[in-house]
Structure 1
């Protein structure tokens, strides 16, 4: 691989104009097509085949109202008054009359006619039902609704909106967050390398690759269902790895220029050596993300593929566009006359300070790292998975305010309502009597606050009813109620021949969480086996893969512990701007495993490949660790800080899903880069000495040699020198 990339780097440097023009043309073409086609994201998280989805399909088929029609609930609140006064009744009636002028609306349920007024008479709601699907309610219709409720707002009645219409509260896709991450990354590179040119190059190439990735993702939304969160994740990951990958190649190129290597030769060798590690690291991330497709959950598949696309283009621009820019910049990337003081020190020393500390006290440092990991991981034992509901949105969001008002006026369980589908097709006798009997029994559950009468369909074979639990949507008691109904459904089917199914937002979220929990062990097994095989091939060692996987497991446990501590238990929530604690996002653990595995292996490869390269030359275990940490320590530190800053910048978003992913990834990268890879890994390698590189002879014969250190390039250069001397 090193030889191939060496030739790629040389060709790109020698044909810089073609490469630069080619990438620019691809970027412009991709974004132009994306803008013309217009993106078509969805926000719903669904999994085909789960019980709630099956029940929803029955509703669509058997009931004329269907299951996906747009619906918005308008919530009214008189802070110091009574909504039943003639004045307030007129204001609300006028508001709803104006709402109904939209021809796309099927019906508006007046709270005074439907008795949807709280006991305290200060809170009421009206349901607005649309003729079209929830994904097709237009911006024009929403604008009309928002304009209409200004009537009640001007009269002093707080008016909020909630519902299933996706455009009502779209997921944030960043913007300012990316800008913050880029600015911080720029200053980190300037501080580390002392050059504005060096700081600009990795950011330029990362943005170029990310721009193409975004264009392809936007185009893809017109052909496959894709959630908005997929775009956010792709931007988050693509920007972080794009800067990091470019940085690793830049560091190698600058080092070689300081050693007086000719520019084109240095470019080719940097791509052949560090570029090999970048390709390997990128492929590792891509394969880890693609492994999420094995879980068989559509929205996870969409997220993994979009993120993998962003990583792929981060790799491609690093090994092709970057060499072309190097050739264009020439020696200005590292002018010898401005060689900084810290580089002179780095060149003269055989090791750095941290390397000497780690190798001097390996036992103490290993124990401290393990104690820190165990302590941080403890909260993970209380992990509870769920899906963020409107009650976890930022208080500036109208759906969050509507949620709070409905809870205040109608009880905690009002936002947890369950839709029960009763199927009496197998009942041979009086179907209505059988449906009534089953409905009556379900309504008597101790955890049910209120049950509506059944609503049969035209044929009388099916009926709908609504159960209002006593507790909130993410409460354990609500989950137990759903589990209890599922359990009872089996006995009801045997005795009454009525099939009981549950759906609704709460039931859907519970089923999704359970499905993701079931998929987690499968994915973890895939990742561990994949890591062991991959690292054995790369480092030709038994110990290195085992050490890397154990370190990765410590990172995952610690990251989940941090997530539980902050998001679930609510510690430091004010500091991070979290408005309400709640369960950990159901797909967060499985996605963290995929992403952090790839990123952890990045740092493992960049560090251990340098250590192995030193060991192959010196055959001295301690010197190889010191040399590896000296040559890669500064770059890994900068790369880790950049990735942390990019991920942490998403903490400034208001969406709890984006915030939880950004902060969790930032913590995970920080823990893995600085506690595991830069501290625990070299300490343990020092303890085991030469045994680290043990590989049975029979295994050494059958595994391929991928040469990510670029050792074969020395032979290639020797051959060229020999040919040159012969010609002379």
Structure 2
């Protein structure tokens, strides 16, 4: 038989594609499911053990290195230890002259002296300025042997409160204040538990199945079990504020449930397309798993930006949060495939009555919404911008500063003490300035007489105590009481006037060096310092995130658009926070009754968190759009299918995140309350106005320009294939359709991405 008449040879079989790293990890976890889950249980126990053995105490230094207030604090710590420790303020008001009830007051003070950690109690009858002008109120202080309020046991602080309550009888009113008292009265609200319950309800509605809804919750609990314990280890490594635990838990629960929601949704789609469970797990890892990896990395990058702020407490909070996010990412890559291996096809079991049979993938509602937006992109883009602009309007009224006892509810001891002191001694009594002086002549405070005289004649000064020398005679301290409260702009002006003119003029030629310190001055310095560093944070985080998106989506326009929209949505969230802090109708809804300043570090923290979380939803949405763009080359279809395929997921994920963050709004601590309000409102704005309105409208307007990238960049930049690997996650018939749509591209099942 001639060669020409020989029967044709059958085509050589296509090589079996090799999964990527995520696919191989998922496959291993699926096959060794019980071993992987056992290792996670061991990790929870190991983390708890490490925390008990090596965990440190929470601490936070809000002073600014190199500042005038920090220099004053250092001097006081070195030469006046009693002035440097934490204090409890004690206000006593009587119906008649307080001197007539001196014995009762002394009995109260003796009882407080006997409380553990109380090193000394000032005698108001011998200390100048501690008795009000009308003679009916005394204001004195208990000096503690701890410098950090969190080191004062709540039981001991409660004993002080009980003594004050017991002494309030007849015509006598007693109230105590200070951070340790405030912490003792705050209590716990179990925000993490509230967030998990709310998330469970949303997941049940989204999936309609107990099994499917339970997987994200179980993953979040596993991650929380590890990360919450590791926060204690972080505290042993670097200064970490006590609110870091709540922040890390908040982030871990939120992003953990969001990521697993995306994975489980894609797994259900893959099962519905006819795959076996193991194939479905690998396909999920090669598509949604890549999105989770990129999304988690953007959150980590955003939190790393806090390290550039140069604030020790911010580094601790950032590190605790990064640990929580990394643990969640590891759980998503290993524990979730193992759990899916356990449930297999039973992922849709135990359906919830009246929730309907939730269909994986695109739904008619989101298809119709996508087409509506695409038909009138200019109208919807303008509407989105208008909504964000209105929300951002209150931002102009935002006032920076540190909340104090005057901003807490009136039924709390610290608020009652604050009001009594303000009424009897003036508003400035709640924020005295401490002037620490390095004496030019050892043992003599005579050189400070001129300063004392100048201070008493300075506008805005209500009272000045005589200078008191330290035991070694090298340092002296003066207390200056302003006429205005610690949050007033006039007090800030007074501090600057003292530093720039009054103190330098009065001490010229004396050899004395005087620093203006105290809690109020420290707050002013902290606000100024953070405000100067904020542009560096914004530039660093935005720049790195844009670079990551450029690599992931192979598009300059997508990266720039994502950064701009995230900045706009964050500004709108700041506007909501500003409205709440005004203390009007909006503030009363969340328990803020008076106009309250915003600590400058909160917008910094919120920016880092929100930029990362906003990028999560951006990655979820755009990865699906890019998947369709790569498959079809049709931008309109990519926008439509991307929104239709992720609309339900993003809505559910946002609802979960809002619920988790909103659970912190009832917190008695103003800082946690404001963080909860800001993050919850930001996620709601981002997932609705931005992701569901602005992004599809703008991408429809830009058309194919969305996916432009210089050819030289495209060749040189690494490609993580965020859209997935078609040879794994597309059925044969869809690969054929893709090949027909894009005849110039390689779609054969050889391992090359489309």
Compute the TM-score of the two structures, normalised by the length of structure 2: 0.89
Counterparts of 2:227 and 2:452, CA distance in 1: 51
Contact 1:417–1:468 under 8 Å retained in 2: yes
Task: State the Cα deviation string for residues 52-94 of structure 1 (Å, max 9, x = none).
Answer: 1111111222x2445433432222234xx225274x4333222
Counterparts of 1:431 and 1:138, CA distance in 2: 39
Q: 2:253 aligns with which of 211, 233, 239?
A: 239
Counterparts of 2:412 and 2:173, CA distance in 1: 14
Contact 2:209–2:352 under 8 Å retained in 1: no
Matched residue, 2:264: 250
Matched residue, 1:455: 468
How has the CA–CA distance of structure 1 residues 479 and 348 changed in structure 2, closer, same or farther, with 3 Å as cutoff?
Answer: closer
Contact 1:269–1:713 under 8 Å retained in 2: no
Counterparts of 1:132 and 1:685, CA distance in 2: 57
How has the CA–CA distance of structure 1 residues 83 and 7 changed in structure 2, closer, same or farther, with 3 Å as cutoff?
Answer: farther
1:358 aligns to 2:373 (yes or no): yes
1:58 aligns to 2:69 (yes or no): no
Counterparts in 2 of 1:335-374, with a 5 A limit?
343=358, 352-374=367-389
1:266 aligns to 2:283 (yes or no): no
Say which SS state the counterpart of residue 110 (structure 2) adopts. helix
Task: State the Cα deviation string for residues 363-412 of structure 1 (Å, max 9, x = none).
Answer: 00111111111121122123321112122233343222211221122111
Counterparts of 2:52 and 2:593, CA distance in 1: 35
Q: 2:319 aligns with which of 293, 297, 305?
A: 305
Q: CA deviation at 1:44?
A: 5.1
How has the CA–CA distance of structure 1 residues 715 and 395 changed in structure 2, closer, same or farther, with 3 Å as cutoff?
Answer: closer
Contact 1:292–1:594 under 8 Å retained in 2: yes
How has the CA–CA distance of structure 1 residues 147 and 377 changed in structure 2, closer, same or farther, with 3 Å as cutoff?
Answer: closer
How has the CA–CA distance of structure 1 residues 253 and 280 changed in structure 2, closer, same or farther, with 3 Å as cutoff?
Answer: same
Matched residue, 1:726: none
Matched residue, 2:401: 386
Counterparts of 1:2 and 1:558, CA distance in 2: 42
Contact 2:269–2:361 under 8 Å retained in 1: no
Counterparts in 2 of 1:189-268, with a 5 A limit?
189-268=203-282
Q: 1:75 aligns with which of 86, 91, 96?
A: 91
Counterparts in 2 of 1:289-438, with a 5 A limit?
289-334=303-348, 343=358, 352-425=367-440, 432-438=445-451
How has the CA–CA distance of structure 1 residues 668 and 347 changed in structure 2, closer, same or farther, with 3 Å as cutoff?
Answer: closer
Q: CA deviation at 1:493?
A: 6.1
Counterparts of 2:256 and 2:659, CA distance in 1: 14
Counterparts of 2:119 and 2:351, CA distance in 1: 75
Between 1:217-226 and 1:623-632, the stretch displaced more is 217-226
How has the CA–CA distance of structure 1 residues 350 and 382 changed in structure 2, closer, same or farther, with 3 Å as cutoff?
Answer: closer
Matched residue, 1:592: 606
RMSD across aligned positions (CA): 2.9
Contact 2:727–2:749 under 8 Å retained in 1: no
Matched residue, 1:129: 143
Counterparts of 2:687 and 2:396, CA distance in 1: 24
Q: CA deviation at 1:587?
A: 0.7
Counterparts of 1:335 and 1:127, CA distance in 2: 63
1:152 aligns to 2:167 (yes or no): yes
Say which SS state the counterpart of residue 596 (structure 2) adopts. coil
Which consecutive unaligned segments of at least 5 residues does structure 2 have? 1-17, 736-747
Counterparts of 1:702 and 1:494, CA distance in 2: 63
Q: CA deviation at 1:459?
A: 5.4
Between 1:659-668 and 1:613-622, the stretch displaced more is 613-622
Contact 2:301–2:541 under 8 Å retained in 1: no
Contact 1:161–1:398 under 8 Å retained in 2: yes
Matched residue, 1:183: 197
1:669 aligns to 2:683 (yes or no): yes
Counterparts of 2:471 and 2:352, CA distance in 1: 84
Counterparts in 2 of 1:523-672, with a 5 A limit?
523-568=537-582, 570-672=584-686
Task: State the Cα deviation string for residues 82-123 of structure 1 (Å, max 9, x = none).
Answer: 25274x433322222333345754432233343623334443
Counterparts of 1:14 and 1:103, CA distance in 2: 57
1:501 aligns to 2:518 (yes or no): no
Counterparts of 1:38 and 1:694, CA distance in 2: 50
1:482 aligns to 2:495 (yes or no): yes
1:442 aligns to 2:455 (yes or no): yes
Compute the TM-score of the two structures, normalised by the length of structure 1: 0.92
Contact 1:588–1:661 under 8 Å retained in 2: yes
Which consecutive unaligned segments of at least 5 residues does structure 1 have? 724-728
Contact 1:171–1:655 under 8 Å retained in 2: no
Counterparts of 2:498 and 2:238, CA distance in 1: 35
Contact 1:383–1:584 under 8 Å retained in 2: yes
How has the CA–CA distance of structure 1 residues 72 and 663 changed in structure 2, closer, same or farther, with 3 Å as cutoff?
Answer: same
Task: State the Cα deviation string for residues 333-358 of structure 1 (Å, max 9, x = none).
Answer: 13699998665596685961221111
Counterparts of 1:529 and 1:100, CA distance in 2: 55
How has the CA–CA distance of structure 1 residues 125 and 701 changed in structure 2, closer, same or farther, with 3 Å as cutoff?
Answer: same
Contact 2:283–2:728 under 8 Å retained in 1: no
How has the CA–CA distance of structure 1 residues 567 and 363 changed in structure 2, closer, same or farther, with 3 Å as cutoff?
Answer: same
How has the CA–CA distance of structure 1 residues 705 and 390 changed in structure 2, closer, same or farther, with 3 Å as cutoff?
Answer: same
Counterparts of 2:274 and 2:389, CA distance in 1: 47
How has the CA–CA distance of structure 1 residues 532 and 130 changed in structure 2, closer, same or farther, with 3 Å as cutoff?
Answer: closer
Counterparts of 2:199 and 2:726, CA distance in 1: 34
Counterparts of 1:521 and 1:492, CA distance in 2: 37
Say which SS state the counterpart of residue 672 (structure 2) adopts. helix
Q: CA deviation at 1:416?
A: 1.5
Between 1:534-543 and 1:634-643, the stretch displaced more is 534-543
Counterparts of 1:405 and 1:198, CA distance in 2: 56
How has the CA–CA distance of structure 1 residues 598 and 409 changed in structure 2, closer, same or farther, with 3 Å as cutoff?
Answer: same
Q: 1:92 aligns with which of 89, 105, 123?
A: 105
Counterparts of 1:661 and 1:200, CA distance in 2: 28
Say which SS state the counterpart of residue 588 (structure 2) adopts. coil
How has the CA–CA distance of structure 1 residues 73 and 616 changed in structure 2, closer, same or farther, with 3 Å as cutoff?
Answer: same
Q: 1:31 aligns with which of 42, 45, 48?
A: 48
Matched residue, 1:709: 723
Counterparts of 2:328 and 2:543, CA distance in 1: 26
Q: CA deviation at 1:461?
A: 4.3
How has the CA–CA distance of structure 1 residues 457 and 626 changed in structure 2, closer, same or farther, with 3 Å as cutoff?
Answer: same
Q: CA deviation at 1:677?
A: 1.6
Say which SS state the counterpart of residue 580 (structure 1) adopts. coil
How has the CA–CA distance of structure 1 residues 469 and 606 changed in structure 2, closer, same or farther, with 3 Å as cutoff?
Answer: same
1:46 aligns to 2:63 (yes or no): yes
Q: CA deviation at 1:595?
A: 0.5
